Amino acid sequence: MAAHTVYKEPAPLLDRENPLESMMSRFNIAAEILGLDDETYNVLKAPDKQVIVNLPVTMDDGKLRVFEGYRVIHNTILGPSKGGIRYDKHVHLDEVKALAAWMTWKCAVVDIPYGGAKGGIICDPTTMSAGELERLTRAYTLALKDVFGPDRDIPAPDMGTGPREMAWLMDEFSKTSGATSPAVVTGKPLVMGGSLGRTEATGRGVMVSTLAALAKLGLNPTEVSAAVQGFGNVGSWAAKLLFDKGLKIKAVSDISGAYWNDNGINIDEAIAYKNAHNGRLEGFGGAEPLNADDLLTSNVDVLVPAAVEDVITEHNAGDIKAKLIVEGANGPTSASADPIINEKGILVVPDILANSGGVTVSYFEWVQNRQGFKWTEEMVTERADRIMSDAFEKVYKTSQKYKIPMRIAAYVVSIDKVAQTYKFRGGF
């Protein structure tokens, strides 16, 4: 008999700072400030549940390939767990654990009744056909049918997934559970229970928190320049909405490279170009090519990292010229960079606050699905903007009260809410 071919990819080793350690080091500082008791600390430091699934999928060439998938439920004390699913070559269990915990803090900071979770599958969606991705998504849903549920755990899109994958997930879950369940997942296509305003929600929240931070710094948006790293859903919407507010977006980037225009990039043109060119900016004529690494240290007032984790590190933090960093991505700044950034006096609107507009509108989608009543776009944006600005004010006040950076203040607000809930619920 021929030797078996092993198609399962081994989990790649992290070649960067471990995001779980980055998350924990901030958590530890906030826990210390709050005087968090040992019992609650020990409950919160590890996820409630970690599920690893093996997903056999028939590929288009007829061969069976086995993928590894994860779903980590960090905490459910505040409500059913919520968080996206990531399809990427570099998905790693420690990364998923960090992202799940960030969802707990994120939902608590915007005061929505959810716990935190995250999922991921080690795969390269860019090389897979729609049929392969559909079979993979259905296999993942089936493997996790007892974990997911409108009152248990509610997935959403993240890197490498979007409304199409959410539709497959909703369909597979509905078929296995015997009832059409739109509220099991958010970020669905509009026609099947998606919410108006969900697509742009994360970028919109980044815009709202950028304007709130500029007001604190006494800066006029129309006199301010910005660089946006990442031109996917979050980055392109953040750039577009900031551009509409009059900021001069001097630099943008995607996987094809970075682009610079000292007079400001017309973001409407950049988005139209991207949509017409396979989702990429390569060859965009409205700007000059810029070395991708230089975007983060370019001469702008506002920096919006909206791509992946650990791009601002101890190696480049000292060269950052921006006065304000607004984190569209999850975990773009590694913990080792925090002291350097604080020393330089840069104001940071941290990920768990800045990008929480996405999960906020996911919450609205879930509420609408359960109400069986569709909200208007005005209702969605007006409510989401209010939640974002209230959360910003709360975190800003906490940072002033304890004389701590906004990042730690956001953790303080979140951990305090979760810890208080544990006190009321009791029952260990």
Site of interaction with ligand GLU (CB under 6 A): 82-84, 156, 158, 186, 330, 355, 358-359, 362
Least Å distance between CB 185 and ligand GLU? 9
| Rounded least distance, CB 284 to ligand GLU, Å | 27
Task: For residue 152, report the phi and psi dihedrals to the nearest 5 degrees.
Answer: -120, -65
Distance CA 302, CA 227 (A): 6
| Least distance to ligand GLU, CB of residue 271, Å | 20
Which residue sits closest to ligand GLU, CB atoms considered?
Answer: 84
User: Is 216 an active-site residue?
Assistant: no
- State in angstroms the smallest separation of the CB of 25 from ligand GLU: 20
Closer to ligand GLU at the Cβ: 154 or 290? Answer: 154
Instruction: Give least dist CB 385 to ligand GLU, A.
Output: 17
Nearer to ligand GLU, 194 or 286 (CB): 194
Which entry of 82, 97, 106, 118 is annotated as an active-site residue? 118
> Strands 257-260, 288-290: parallel, antiparallel or unpaired by DSSP?
antiparallel
Nearer to ligand GLU, 80 or 286 (CB): 80
Select 186 or 334, whichever has its Cβ closest to ligand GLU.
Answer: 186
Q: How far apart are CA 181 and CA 142, in angstroms?
A: 14
Q: How far is the CB of 175 from ligand GLU (least distance, A)?
A: 22
Q: Do the strands 248-254 and 225-229 form a parallel or antiparallel pair, or are they unpaired?
A: parallel
Report in angstroms how near the CB of residue 288 gets to ligand GLU at its nearest: 32
Distance separating alpha carbons of residues 68 and 9, to the nearest angstrom: 8
Q: Considering beta carbons, is residue 83 or 286 the nearer one to ligand GLU?
A: 83
Nearer Cβ to ligand GLU, position 36 or 354? 354
Q: Which is nearer to ligand GLU, 306 or 346 (CB)?
A: 306
Give me the least distance between CB of 78 and ligand GLU, in Å please.
14
For residues 87 and 260, which CB has a smaller minimum distance to ligand GLU in the complex?
87
3-state SS string over the chain?
A: CCCCCCCCCCCCCCCCCCHHHHHHHHHHHHHHHHCCCHHHHHHHHCCCEEEEEEEEEECCCCCEEEEEEEEEEEECCCCCEEEEEEEECCCCHHHHHHHHHHHHHHHHHCCCCCEEEEEEEECCHHHCCHHHHHHHHHHHHHHCCCCCECCCEEEEECCCCCHHHHHHHHHHHHHHHCCCCHHHCCCCCHHHCCCCCHHHHHHHHHHHHHHHHHHHHCCCHHHCEEEEECCCHHHHHHHHHHHHCCCEEEEEEECCEEEECCCCCCHHHHHHHHHHCCCCCCCCCCCEEECHHHCCCCCCCEEEECCCCCCECCCCHHHCCCCEEECCCCCCECHHHHHHHHHCCCEEECHHHHCCHHHHHHHHHHHHHHHCCCCCHHHHHHHHHHHHHHHHHHHHHHHHHHCCCHHHHHHHHHHHHHHHHHHHHCCC
Strand order in the sheet with 257-260: 288-290, 257-260, 248-254, 225-229, 302-305, 324-326, 347-349
CB 334 within 8 A of CB 16: yes
Residues marked active site are found at 118
